[in-house]
């Protein structure tokens, strides 16, 4: 009788562990399905492109994101709005130069969540540290999370002031009389992370 009681107790404990862990896991982000699209505006137009995610994770507990981070490989930055091959290569190389992201010195940029506020598990206000060119600055932005089966889809629009990361090329706050050569300071990152429930 005692043996049956002990076995029943162990079974109950095991079941509780399984149930308790169903909604708590570190989600593994699929780098092939996740994307970061950058865009920047100037007086005469806009440029945009992609940069690949080299590492990412999401801390998902009790149906909500509690934390997470992602890392971008700046050597993969592309320009998608220019179709001429020579012009495209010229701008891509310029973005990698010291005028912009200094990719040879700083080949990674990253973001880490420090706070994730939500009332419904879907709409979030995310705060965290964005690191570009080795410089860290806090940013806050809206995000959405959609859980479909074993996948988590997290999307966000991050807008940052490039001059805070020592990217001052043709900024109106640092150079005068730029006229139509002026490049606006705000840069946008449209981030989509697709994570797998592990």
**pLDDT for 168 beyond 50:** yes
pTM, whole model, 2 decimals?
A: 0.84
- Determine the topology of domain 24-196 in CATH: Lipocalin (2.40.128)
Whether the per-residue pLDDT at 112 is higher than 50: the answer is yes
Residue 198 — pLDDT band, cuts 50, 70, 90?
A: low
- Per-residue HEC secondary structure of the chain comes to CHHHHHHHHHHHHHHHHHHHHCCEEEEEECCCCCEEEEEEEECCEEEEEEEEEEEEEEEEECCEEEEEEEEEEHHHCCCCCCCCHHHHHHHHHHHHCCCCCCCCCCCEEEEEEEEEEECCCCEEEEEEEEEECCEEEEEEEEEEEEEECCEEEEEEEEEEEHHHHCCCCCCCCCCCCCHHHCEEEEEEEEEEEEEECC
pLDDT value at residue 150: 86
- Choose the weakest-confidence range: 9-13, 35-39, 110-114: 9-13
- Please give the average per-residue pLDDT across 141-152, as a whole number: 93
Question: Is residue 9 predicted with pLDDT exceeding 90?
Answer: no
For the chain, the structural domain boundaries read: 24-196
- Residue-wise pLDDT for 20-50, tens only, equals 334 455 678 899 999 999 999 999 999 999 9
Residue 125 pLDDT: 98
């Amino acid at each position: 009788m005692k043996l049956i009681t002990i076995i029943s107790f162990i079974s109950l404990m095991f079941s509780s562990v399984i149930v308790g862990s169903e909604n708590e896991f570190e989600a593994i982000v699929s780098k092939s399905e996740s994307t970061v699209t950058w865009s920047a505006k100037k007086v005469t137009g806009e440029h945009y492109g992609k940069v690949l995610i080299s590492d990412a994770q999401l801390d998902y507990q009790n149906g909500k994101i509690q934390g997470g981070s992602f890392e971008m490989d700046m050597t993969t930055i592309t320009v998608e709005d220019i179709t001429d091959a020579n012009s495209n290569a010229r701008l891509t190389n310029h973005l990698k130069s010291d005028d912009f992201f200094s990719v040879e010195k700083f080949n990674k940029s990253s973001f880490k969540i420090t706070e994730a506020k939500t009332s419904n598990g879907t709409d979030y206000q995310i705060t965290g540290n964005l690191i570009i060119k080795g410089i860290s600055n806090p940013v806050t932005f809206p995000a959405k999370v959609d859980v479909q089966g074993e996948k988590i889809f997290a999307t966000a629009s991050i807008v940052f002031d490039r001059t805070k990361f020592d990217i001052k090329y043709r900024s109106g706050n640092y150079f005068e009389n730029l006229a139509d050569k002026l490049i606006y300071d705000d840069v946008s990152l449209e981030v989509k992370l697709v994570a797998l429930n592990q």
